[in-house]
Amino acid sequence: MFRTPLRPLFALYNLPGVCIRPHALTYTTTAMSSTKKARTHPPYELLYWPQIPGRGEFIRLAFEAAGVSYKDVSNEQKDGVQEVVSLISASSTGTDSNPPIFAPPALRIPGEGKNGSALILYQTPSILSYLGPKLGLSGEDEAEGAWILSHALTALDLNNEAHDTHHPVAVAKYYEEQKDEALKKAADFRETRIPKFLGFFERVLKGNEKEGEGKYLVGGKLSYADTTVWHVLNGLQFAFPKELEARKKDYPLLFETFYPSVQEQSGLKEYLASDRRLLYSNGVFRHYPELDRQ
Amino acid sequence: MFRTPLRPLFALYNLPGVCIRPHALTYTTTAMSSTKKARTHPPYELLYWPQIPGRGEFIRLAFEAAGVSYKDVSNEQKDGVQEVVSLISASSTGTDSNPPIFAPPALRIPGEGKNGSALILYQTPSILSYLGPKLGLSGEDEAEGAWILSHALTALDLNNEAHDTHHPVAVAKYYEEQKDEALKKAADFRETRIPKFLGFFERVLKGNEKEGEGKYLVGGKLSYADTTVWHVLNGLQFAFPKELEARKKDYPLLFETFYPSVQEQSGLKEYLASDRRLLYSNGVFRHYPELDRQ
């Protein structure tokens, strides 16, 4: 689910005066916080690496789709990344009554922990599972909630496999040090794994067509499974544009109904058009033309 | 989280008259089903490949630790594996009101679905998250439940990385076809990933020492995080015996307190001594001496 970030990014963090792009998304200042809905929620804080969508994006999309404000600490505070670095310290046994965390993303909720301290959670699917019912993104009943988590986990597996195409041998080494293996891994990913996953999500939509007409994976409203699958599809199109272009036609519900429908959802549409939506660079999804279909 | 099973195993399934080892573990005949506790639960059915622990083992351990009976379909019915094969058919859009499933393990609960049909769930962490509260294995409150899911997810990530040491390039090809890459991947896994994960779990135990004295990862009682981490530690010792033997001393809470304590838990102790506990073979954890420390 999470891997050590890449050395170039790590090196960047250690530079003094690194420029973290500031933006207006804070839970105290965003326009969303003035809505009644937002005020009923605690001050959620996302702790993740700055400047890349990465695995933090799955959490951001859930908040944005729900219209619930949050603080993106590393992208909003000049020294925010230090909080992330401190949180994953290899000597930490946890803070307050929270356990240590293995890797970001983490979710911090001031006041929600024991004795009024902050509650801190980690692992993308666990954070989504915790937030789902609170943000109205986990379906209508227990079964829908379980399926939504299952589908999100499947999309996150695909996300991890996309990452492994450029880091098949060692996550802490450079892509250039494992390029031969990456070429083999990417070929298998394109030829066997992409169609397996996309075919599966197409069938999930087809099975749910009666209720959602291909718009939603589960039931008749948006869930964090939808936002999670959407982002992976978006990232795949960035990383493997030729491969996806060639395959899209085989999955009409996924690419002609589901994908455009999700990105037109209220909240998501505005977010995706804003500068809060970070650009892909050296994260999970990377565009190396040699790894794409030739 | 799940990968295509290996071709040799698939080939085996297609042989007529394949011998599936029968055993006494059914929800109607096991001794456990005669207890009051077991009778309050619906007839849980695990659908997974036969004859290997695999990812199904995380579900089995939760049931066994809770003393709640279940039917292990592939290992108890002569044609049980056909139900698994049918469930993951590449043309399925789901059954009854359930979505299709991507890969086993799946959990089927007759009578718990819509209109009295069976409810079917998939994805190991999603099944554990669903069962956790019902089996009394998900802590005392919402925060503990979230941490338990997070730690289980982290252990399952380690499980996946262990799998990838022998299949770094293509999950559907033989190990022998990717042995050069496997040697590199396993070296990185042993040298950087194993200590990173084990060090993390040691710190989780240390942070929880006051309540559980190293016995539990979260709070003061057994959870599915404990059974999940335990099985991965067990599998690593099978697959990488020299590496684990050399490293054990660095994680005293994990190997001197936690590991023996979990396997002595009532329910688990009896299960682990029984023939229901399947042997490792060609699954996630494999002992290839050349991939271990030399």
Question: Chain B: nearest CA to A184, how far in angstroms?
Answer: 6
Beta strand A45-47 with A71-72 is: parallel
Residue of A nearest to B123 (CA): A150
A149 pLDDT more than 80 = yes
Kindly state the helix (H) or strand (E) to which residue A58 belongs, with its residue range: helix A56-66
Backbone angles phi, psi at B135, to 5 degrees: -100, 0
In this prediction, residue B40 carries a pLDDT of 80
Looking at residue A8, its amino acid is: P
Q: Which of B122, B135, B128 is nearest to B149 (CA)?
A: B128
In this prediction, residue B155 carries a pLDDT of 98
ipTM over 0.85: yes
Report the 3 state secondary structure along A194-250: HHHHHHHHHHHHHHCHHHHCCCCCCCCCCCHHHHHHHHHHHHHHHHCHHHHHHHHHH
Highest mean pLDDT among A14-28, A178-192, A208-222: A178-192
Question: Chain A: nearest CA to B247, how far in angstroms?
Answer: 17
Distant-in-sequence contacts of A242-248, Cβ < 8 A, 24+ apart: A242/A292, A242/A293, A242/A294, A243/A190, A243/A194, A243/A292, A243/A293, A244/A194, A246/A293, A247/A194, A247/A195, A247/A198
Residue of B nearest to A91 (CA): B203
pLDDT averaged over every residue in chain A: 88
- A213 compared with A66, residue with greater pLDDT: A66
A120 pLDDT more than 80 = yes
- DSSP annotation of B118 reads -
Q: How confident is the model at residue A201 (pLDDT cuts 50, 70, 90)?
A: very high
Q: Supply B223's token pair.
A: 């959870």
B35 pLDDT more than 70 = no
B133-142 burial: b if 16+ Cβ within 10 Å, else e: eebbbbbeee
pLDDT tens profile B164-208: 999 999 999 999 999 999 999 999 999 999 999 999 999 999 999
| Residue to substitute from A126, A183, A253, interface B, most B β-carbons within 10 A | A126
Q: How confident is the model at residue B280 (pLDDT cuts 50, 70, 90)?
A: very high
Backbone angles phi, psi at A107, to 5 degrees: -120, 125
Q: What is the pTM of this model?
A: 0.89
- What is the mean predicted confidence (pLDDT) over A69-83? 96
Residue of A nearest to B218 (CA): A99
Q: How confident is the model at residue B211 (pLDDT cuts 50, 70, 90)?
A: low
Residue A106 DSSP SS3:
strand
Question: CA geometry: angle at B62 spanning B118 and B116, to 5°?
Answer: 10
Of residues A150, A173, A207, nearest to B126 (C-beta): A150
B158 pLDDT more than 60 = yes
- Percent pLDDT > 70 in chain A is 85
Looking at residue A231, its amino acid is: H
In this prediction, residue B212 carries a pLDDT of 63
B19 pLDDT more than 50 = no
